Structure 1
Amino acid sequence: MKQNPEREPGYVLGGRYRICRLIGRGGMSRVYMAEDLKLTGKIWAVKETAADKELMGAWRAEAEMLSSLNHPRLPRIVDFFDYSSEGHVYLVMDYIGGMTLEAYLQRNGEFMDSGKIISFALELLDVLSYLHNHKPPVIHRDLKPSNIMVTPERELRLVDFGTARNYSSGSSQDTVKLGTVGFAAPEQYGSGQSDARSDLYGLGALMLYLCTEGRFSEWTPAAEEAFRSGMPRDLVLIIRRLLKADPRERFQTAKEVMQELRQVSAPLTAGPAPATEAKYTGTRVIALLGASSGCGVTHMAIAIGHYLARQGGKVAVAELNSSSQSFSRIQVLLEGESTAGVDGSKQFYFEGVRYCRQTSTEEVITLLSGGFDFIVLDLGSGTDPEGLDEFLRADYPVIVGSAAEWKMPDLVMFARALSRYPQQRWSFCLPLATSDAARRLGKELSTSNVYTIPLHLDPFEPNEEMDDTLSTLFKDAVPGPRRKRLLFAPRRRR
């Protein structure tokens, strides 16, 4: 089967779904983000799959099966149609924001302890139990990291059902051998029919993958030696049993595995962890997005970076704008025009902060494995798709906007344009704003996370008022005593 060229932004599928951009691909499928032309502002994920014309009926039956599922960790299937002449079928489903578990591991892998891995496994077992007890039972057959989304709230969603099938008690083997090598059970390749125990094998492979920082998904002596230090022995034994080649030697139901994992996790959550000397827990990403041009995003990104560095953190500040010259000018001032960047490097240091100019999203992933306590992303203004993705998955998403009377409506409109995304963790920062302006904005947007930003002429240098504001804004990230400061606090008059 030959797949058609990728659909361009603006193309309308099914007379209703306008393509925004491609968000994923694999095998003979692509997934697009699409805007609903009938439901204004509604965004969907549309999966396009190449299929033989003779199998269109089977695809329709599969779509009907998927649309009957109803679980909070599964996307809803809301529409199905085909372009028979082109040999393509389309599933329209909920758009799930966040990142794949594969990307999450790349970003946070070294900080995923046994408690987090067990928590993720229990979330997946919850949805597997639902699928396996469905009438008829549904077997997913492809529990790989790229098929699982981690939402901005750090919850899992199982998103790809390209290999799912109903279990048939009258069949001895799978009709079609499908599944990802390394994560699929042996019976999916000819030794028998896949059933609930096949998904449990896939879960074991996924847990092994997480426990070995992405190095292994199949049980070998090398894999056992690669387990992260501190992993409970009982957890290792559970994973080993899940990965038995013979399905009869595995756990038989998702419920059994849930009971075993809860026993392992009970001591881990019985009380507070003992105090340690560690000051930070993992890399925290702070993303700043401007509601309009010239509102001070870069100035604030620099101020935040140097504030966090003064608190003892290892900090990188990255400029995600290929056309911006701000960091280039800083590098020239520091190194001189004749030597700045002559080695081809787009990175330089100043007062303990690493600056990364004109950074791509791929380079951000590299930074995430660089041992930084904080990465501050200067996303500029607007809603560039890549920048918006980084903003939505940041630990601290911050919108910077002007408090001027004639520009405040721009900020309100900007926030409302993004209202389809969860905003509980968002903060709004207003440089040189009065407390009255902050209160008005908070009331308009129904949020208390509005901060006034004081006059701070030199973002590289400490400023008492600015430090007070940032200590409140990042109170969960930087340990240590702080003076109390109310939101909407007015600036001191000079």
Structure 2
Amino acid sequence: MKQQRQHEPGYVLGGRYRICRLIGRGGMSRVYMAEDLKLTGKIWAVKETVADRELMGAWRAEAELLSALNHPRLPRIVDFFDFSNEGNVYLVMDYIGGMTLEAYMQNNGGIVEGGKVVSFALQLLDVLDYLHSHKPSIIYRDLKPSNIMITPGLELKLIDFGTARNYSTGSSQDTVKLGTVGFAAPEQYGGGQTDARSDLYGLGALMLYLCTDGRQSEWTPGVEEVIRSGLPRDLARVIRRLLKIDPGERYQTAREVIHELRLLSVPPADRPVPAVEAKYSGTRVIALLGVSPGCGVTHTAIAISHYLSRQGGRVAVAELNGRSQSFSRIQTLLEGEERARAEGTKRFSFEGVQYCRQMSPEDIIPLLSGGFDFIVFDLGSGGNHERLEEFLRADYPLIVGSGAEWRLPDTVMFASALARYPQQKWSFCLPLATSEAVRRLGKDLGTGKVYTLPLHLDPFEPCEEMDTVLQALFKDALPGPRRKKPLFASLRRQ
């Protein structure tokens, strides 16, 4: 295959994407970090693939496949194009800060703690279950360390779909045999068709690789002797079944494996992954989801937005609960009813924060491409599938529950209903809760990320007690200078 020369920093692709640096390469492609010249400050990952005629169909298939998917552990596709004069095609997607699982192992001497092995497996099973439940089912087929990104918050994301395929019920075997030796299921190189169980074999190979410090990915005689001690009890049994040669002897679905792993006694995963970049690139998303109506989601979302704006951030707050009229009332108060209706816009600004009222799912991608440092999503309470997806995808998912003593079980039940999803980066906010209520809820949920929100009558104005809580919640966000702002209360009195 003809290889094109590597683009140097500063080179502009498609008149829009300026190369910052090379961040990865494979046999047929390179991945660059690139700055968006139209959306100031926005950083993307751009995958470049050599466009030989026979590969063009596969490249377009990958672009179309990813564009149709929506899951927090998959990159969001925003653009794709080709240059016939260069012989390359390009896929523009979310830039994911962090490092590959392969690099993480290298940086840690090949050792991944037992608690992290299970945590990582559960995260991968979550996205595999999503892919396998797709209509038609999508089989990933190349679950290996170099295809998995790990963020500073210990979140895993799949980054390469070059070998994925739709499962065909009318076919007895794959047309093309693809996958990485050592991690691919035997049927990927035999006469059978790959299905969901092939990905489960790949997961088992990956787990064994993690449990043997990178020495083994196949269940061969004597492999038990190189499995590291101190792992969760019965983990080896689960891995052994995943690696059965006969697909019929493996677990049959990702949900079966999720159930098995949740029964294990798991030591906590410890140190977070060090950030690769000294400065966070891109937009951070904060999503607030209420346990029940009236628990203060909108009030808290507004308070967070104006706090981050006072720190120097470019902030948008978006209302994804279509039934809410809160932002409409704010716009009417600011601009007057006649002007608000006449302009007919869903966006308005106040105190440096852009408000986006009654947003639809189709509005989300343009908003994410708007060059903001922070986007705060007000998801309302409960949440349908689309709102839940945005909550799970967020960098800061916040559950807002009632601070009343007698309603604490509501928050516990709410978290339990979402137990299949990894919750290590979730935070729980309880307006006006006592310190005892916070302590008890943290114990019931098994987390230290429970916060009481103090009395804050006007969320548009600074509040010292509230700022202290928000500083703790967003302590890894970029600090900035505080700017004195006019008071919303004075505008209301006019």
Q: TM bucket by the smaller chain?
A: 0.5 to 0.7
**SS at the partner of 1:172?**
coil
**SS at the partner of 1:224?**
helix
Asked if the contact 2:152–2:272 (Cα under 8 Å) also holds between the matched residues in 1, the reply is no
Q: CA separation of 1:12/1:147 partners in 2, compared to 1, >3 Å: closer, same or farther?
A: same
Alignment-mate amino acid for residue 79 of structure 1 = D
* Superposed counterparts of 1:331-370, under 5 Å: none
How far, CA to CA, are the matches of 2:146 and 2:262 in structure 1?
A: 26
Residue equivalent to 2:166? 166
**SS at the partner of 1:44?**
strand
Residue equivalent to 1:49? 49
**SS at the partner of 1:122?**
helix
Asked if the contact 1:19–1:32 (Cα under 8 Å) also holds between the matched residues in 2, the reply is yes
- C-alpha deviation, 1:157, in angstroms: 0.9
Residue equivalent to 2:228? 228
How far, CA to CA, are the matches of 2:158 and 2:139 in structure 1?
A: 12
Alignment-mate amino acid for residue 161 of structure 2 = F
- C-alpha deviation, 1:137, in angstroms: 1.1
Q: CA separation of 1:392/1:63 partners in 2, compared to 1, >3 Å: closer, same or farther?
A: closer
Whether 1:101 and 2:101 are equivalent positions in the alignment is: yes
- C-alpha deviation, 1:109, in angstroms: 5.6
How far, CA to CA, are the matches of 1:134 and 1:85 in structure 2?
A: 37
Whether 1:84 and 2:84 are equivalent positions in the alignment is: yes
**SS at the partner of 1:63?**
helix
Residue equivalent to 1:194? 194
Whether 1:133 and 2:133 are equivalent positions in the alignment is: yes
How far, CA to CA, are the matches of 2:142 and 2:242 in structure 1?
A: 15
* Superposed counterparts of 1:227-246, under 5 Å: 227-246=227-246
How far, CA to CA, are the matches of 2:278 and 2:141 in structure 1?
A: 30
Residue equivalent to 1:69? 69
Q: CA separation of 1:220/1:420 partners in 2, compared to 1, >3 Å: closer, same or farther?
A: farther
Kindly provide the CA deviation profile for residues 176-217 of structure 1, in whole angstroms up to 9, marking residues without a partner as x: 221111111111113311111111111001000110111111
Match of 1:389 among 262, 277, 302: 277
How far, CA to CA, are the matches of 1:159 and 1:18 in structure 2?
A: 21
Between the two proteins, the alignment pairs up a number of residues equal to 306
How far, CA to CA, are the matches of 1:450 and 1:161 in structure 2?
A: 33
- C-alpha deviation, 1:138, in angstroms: 1.0
**SS at the partner of 1:221?**
coil
How far, CA to CA, are the matches of 2:271 and 2:259 in structure 1?
A: 30
Kindly provide the CA deviation profile for residues 199-238 of structure 1, in whole angstroms up to 9, marking residues without a partner as x: 1111001000110111111111242211111224521011
Asked if the contact 2:154–2:273 (Cα under 8 Å) also holds between the matched residues in 1, the reply is no
Alignment-mate amino acid for residue 69 of structure 1 = L
How far, CA to CA, are the matches of 1:51 and 1:176 in structure 2?
A: 18
Asked if the contact 2:111–2:210 (Cα under 8 Å) also holds between the matched residues in 1, the reply is no
Asked if the contact 2:154–2:272 (Cα under 8 Å) also holds between the matched residues in 1, the reply is no
How far, CA to CA, are the matches of 1:450 and 1:42 in structure 2?
A: 20
Alignment-mate amino acid for residue 268 of structure 1 = V
Asked if the contact 1:174–1:190 (Cα under 8 Å) also holds between the matched residues in 2, the reply is no
- C-alpha deviation, 1:391, in angstroms: 6.8
Residue equivalent to 1:268? 266
Asked if the contact 1:209–1:215 (Cα under 8 Å) also holds between the matched residues in 2, the reply is yes
* Deviation larger for 48-57 or 135-144: 48-57
Asked if the contact 1:41–1:420 (Cα under 8 Å) also holds between the matched residues in 2, the reply is no
* Superposed counterparts of 1:167-182, under 5 Å: 167-182=167-182
Alignment-mate amino acid for residue 148 of structure 1 = I
Kindly provide the CA deviation profile for residues 86-127 of structure 1, in whole angstroms up to 9, marking residues without a partner as x: 432211110000111112223346763322211110000000
How far, CA to CA, are the matches of 1:282 and 1:61 in structure 2?
A: 38
How far, CA to CA, are the matches of 2:57 and 2:174 in structure 1?
A: 19
Kindly provide the CA deviation profile for residues 340-389 of structure 1, in whole angstroms up to 9, marking residues without a partner as x: xxxxxxxxxxxxxxxxxxxxxxxxxxxxxxxxxxxxxxxxxxxxxxxx63
- C-alpha deviation, 1:22, in angstroms: 0.5
**SS at the partner of 1:389?**
coil
**Percent pairwise identity:** 70
- C-alpha deviation, 1:282, in angstroms: 6.7
Alignment-mate amino acid for residue 152 of structure 1 = P
Alignment-mate amino acid for residue 150 of structure 1 = I
Kindly provide the CA deviation profile for residues 401-448 of structure 1, in whole angstroms up to 9, marking residues without a partner as x: xxxxxxxxxxx99999995897999xxxxxxxxxxxxx99x98xx847
Alignment-mate amino acid for residue 210 of structure 2 = L
- C-alpha deviation, 1:169, in angstroms: 1.6
Whether 1:248 and 2:136 are equivalent positions in the alignment is: no
Asked if the contact 2:58–2:162 (Cα under 8 Å) also holds between the matched residues in 1, the reply is no
Alignment-mate amino acid for residue 195 of structure 1 = D
How far, CA to CA, are the matches of 2:143 and 2:108 in structure 1?
A: 20
Residue equivalent to 1:19? 19
Q: CA separation of 1:12/1:283 partners in 2, compared to 1, >3 Å: closer, same or farther?
A: closer
Q: CA separation of 1:169/1:85 partners in 2, compared to 1, >3 Å: closer, same or farther?
A: farther
Residue equivalent to 1:38? 38
**SS at the partner of 1:121?**
helix
Kindly provide the CA deviation profile for residues 447-489 of structure 1, in whole angstroms up to 9, marking residues without a partner as x: 47999xxxxxxxxxxxxxxxxxxxxx9xxxxxxxxxxxxxxxx
How far, CA to CA, are the matches of 1:47 and 1:80 in structure 2?
A: 9
Asked if the contact 1:53–1:84 (Cα under 8 Å) also holds between the matched residues in 2, the reply is no
- C-alpha deviation, 1:36, in angstroms: 1.1
Alignment-mate amino acid for residue 244 of structure 2 = K
Asked if the contact 1:178–1:188 (Cα under 8 Å) also holds between the matched residues in 2, the reply is yes
Asked if the contact 1:42–1:420 (Cα under 8 Å) also holds between the matched residues in 2, the reply is no
**SS at the partner of 1:123?**
helix
**SS at the partner of 1:190?**
coil
Kindly provide the CA deviation profile for residues 299-338 of structure 1, in whole angstroms up to 9, marking residues without a partner as x: xxxxxxxxxxxxxxxxxxxxxxxxxxxxxxxxxxxxxxxx
How far, CA to CA, are the matches of 1:212 and 1:392 in structure 2?
A: 33
How far, CA to CA, are the matches of 1:160 and 1:392 in structure 2?
A: 22
Asked if the contact 2:151–2:273 (Cα under 8 Å) also holds between the matched residues in 1, the reply is no
How far, CA to CA, are the matches of 2:193 and 2:84 in structure 1?
A: 30
Q: CA separation of 1:5/1:284 partners in 2, compared to 1, >3 Å: closer, same or farther?
A: closer
What TM-score, normalized by structure 2, do the two folds share? 0.55
- C-alpha deviation, 1:62, in angstroms: 3.1
Asked if the contact 1:108–1:282 (Cα under 8 Å) also holds between the matched residues in 2, the reply is no
Q: CA separation of 1:256/1:150 partners in 2, compared to 1, >3 Å: closer, same or farther?
A: same
* Superposed counterparts of 1:114-125, under 5 Å: 114-125=114-125
How far, CA to CA, are the matches of 1:87 and 1:173 in structure 2?
A: 32
Asked if the contact 2:232–2:266 (Cα under 8 Å) also holds between the matched residues in 1, the reply is no
**SS at the partner of 1:230?**
coil
**SS at the partner of 1:157?**
strand
What TM-score, normalized by structure 1, do the two folds share? 0.55
- C-alpha deviation, 1:61, in angstroms: 3.5
Alignment-mate amino acid for residue 31 of structure 1 = V
* Superposed counterparts of 1:371-390, under 5 Å: 389=277
How far, CA to CA, are the matches of 1:95 and 1:62 in structure 2?
A: 17
